[in-house]
Structure 1
Amino acid sequence: MYQDVLIPTDGSDGTRRSIDHGMAIAQQFGATVHALSVVPEGPLGTLQNDTAIAAADRAVERVEREAARKGVDVVTAVEQGVPHEEILEYADEHDVDMIVMGTQGRTGLDRVLVGSVTERVVRMADVPVVTVRLTENVRIDDADEATRIAREALAEEDGSLDPAEITVLEEPHRTSASWIVPLGTATDTVHVHVDAVSGEARTATRPE
């Protein structure tokens, strides 16, 4: 039924849940995931800069890594323009069967903008649009608990590490729905992201 699923993403916690849902749909139907990030342009002028482009690249790369981990075919793209217009144009040009979007992005103005983009896409799209709301039911609200989970996840991933011997390099900090825990081992520095709702942990960066 669905051969091509489009997941617009800005790399924020709000879009992470839409990525999870989009991946699950793609796995169920053997579909290809299209990860799209848009560097915004609007009535106040171009918001394009090196930082924005780099963030967009990282956002689609995150989806690409997740797709590879789950064995899902993936196509990535970074476009510049008015976000809802670029999403709709991409869906049309690539014969997308479904769009999966978050209703909330980053906090503040970006959060409002992402909600507005989703609303426009829902109203104007010719294909089904699945919207995924960022839950507010935060379960991991303590830095010590996030650190414990991050240590255990890193030790399990490596196989040769003792959680008690992993050093906390900086105080963990929380974004809208995940903890970022900087950890150090004898040979490496790692940032582990702990989902504040599910408790799921993943290694975010592993510098050479």
Structure 2
Amino acid sequence: MYDRILVPTDGSTATREAAKHAIDVAGKYGATVHALYVVGTERLERSDATREELEVEGREATEALVDRADDAGVDVVTAIEDGRPSDRILEYVDDEDVDLVVMGTRGRTGVGRVLLGSVAERVVRRADVPVMTVRASGERAVETAEEAVAVARDALEAEGHDDASVTEEPYRAANTWIVRAEGDGDAFNVHVDPSSGDTSVARIRRRD
């Protein structure tokens, strides 16, 4: 049914969730996944990020998807392109004869960042191929320590720390959960937003 599946990615929780679904579908049908990162013109204009920094971010995002797909035995093609994200996604669909687009419904937010939700909406309206939208699991309240641990484990796994373990009970500081973990010889503080489930991972420097 599907031969070429496109996953636009920015490395965020939403696009990681979309990547999981795309890899599952590709594995079922023997399809190739195309991981596309767009260096958005809007983001360049509205933020202090340079093109080189965004290209580095794009390589990290697409390579993370390659690593996940390799584990599942799925082939991946990567691309980093410039332009308006929705336009470039639709052009890529036509150029590469894509059969299915899998997109997260929420991307990175903040000053100068593109809201992937609006990009997904434009792609859904204009695409001539099926578009599967995947809502990020982080778009829910994190009300308990147990939920914070689960979200933190997912964040660490997404960064390649599959064997990380939580070392103490999570606690609330200001408006965030802090989950302490260790893995691969490193220690981490995972900050979890209780209202959205968004995460950030901070490596703790060890003192000799």
Common fold by TM > 0.5: yes
The answer to whether the Cα contact below 8 Å between 1:140 and 1:146 also exists between their aligned partners in 2 is: no
Q: Report the RMSD for the aligned CA atoms in angstroms.
A: 4.2
In structure 1, what is the equivalent of residue 88 of structure 2? Answer: 86
In structure 2, what is the equivalent of residue 128 of structure 1? Answer: 130
Hey, what's the Cα distance between the residues in 1 that align with 2:191 and 2:72? 19
Change (3 A) 1:131 1:156: closer
Q: Secondary structure at the match of 2:115?
A: helix
Q: Kindly provide the CA deviation profile for residues 125-156 of structure 1, in whole angstroms up to 9, marking residues without a partner as x.
A: 11110011123345684389639x86xx9999
Q: Secondary structure at the match of 1:183?
A: strand
Deviation at 1:20, TM superposition (A): 1.0
| Runs of at least 5 residues in structure 1 that lack an aligned partner in the other structure | 197-204
Change (3 A) 1:3 1:42: same
Change (3 A) 1:156 1:103: closer
| Runs of at least 5 residues in structure 2 that lack an aligned partner in the other structure | 194-202, 204-208
In structure 2, what is the equivalent of residue 13 of structure 1? Answer: 13
In structure 1, what is the equivalent of residue 182 of structure 2? Answer: 183
Change (3 A) 1:44 1:3: closer
The answer to whether the Cα contact below 8 Å between 1:104 and 1:112 also exists between their aligned partners in 2 is: no
What are the residue-to-residue correspondences of 1:157-168 with 2, within 5 Å?
157=163
The yes-or-no answer on 1:33 pairing with 2:33 is yes
Amino acid in structure 2 at the alignment position of 1:31: A
Deviation at 1:63, TM superposition (A): 0.5
The answer to whether the Cα contact below 8 Å between 2:161 and 2:183 also exists between their aligned partners in 1 is: no
Q: Kindly provide the CA deviation profile for residues 27-46 of structure 1, in whole angstroms up to 9, marking residues without a partner as x.
A: 11110000011110139848
Q: TM-score, normalised by structure 2?
A: 0.69
The answer to whether the Cα contact below 8 Å between 2:103 and 2:132 also exists between their aligned partners in 1 is: yes
Change (3 A) 1:67 1:40: same
The answer to whether the Cα contact below 8 Å between 2:148 and 2:179 also exists between their aligned partners in 1 is: no
Hey, what's the Cα distance between the residues in 2 that align with 1:184 and 1:157? 6
Q: Kindly provide the CA deviation profile for residues 83-103 of structure 1, in whole angstroms up to 9, marking residues without a partner as x.
A: 011111111111110000011
Change (3 A) 1:60 1:156: closer
How many residues are aligned here?
184
- The percent of aligned pairs where both chains have the same amino acid is 40
Change (3 A) 1:146 1:6: same
Amino acid in structure 2 at the alignment position of 1:103: T
Candidates 101, 104, 109, aligned match of 2:103: 101
In structure 1, what is the equivalent of residue 198 of structure 2? Answer: none
Amino acid in structure 1 at the alignment position of 2:94: D
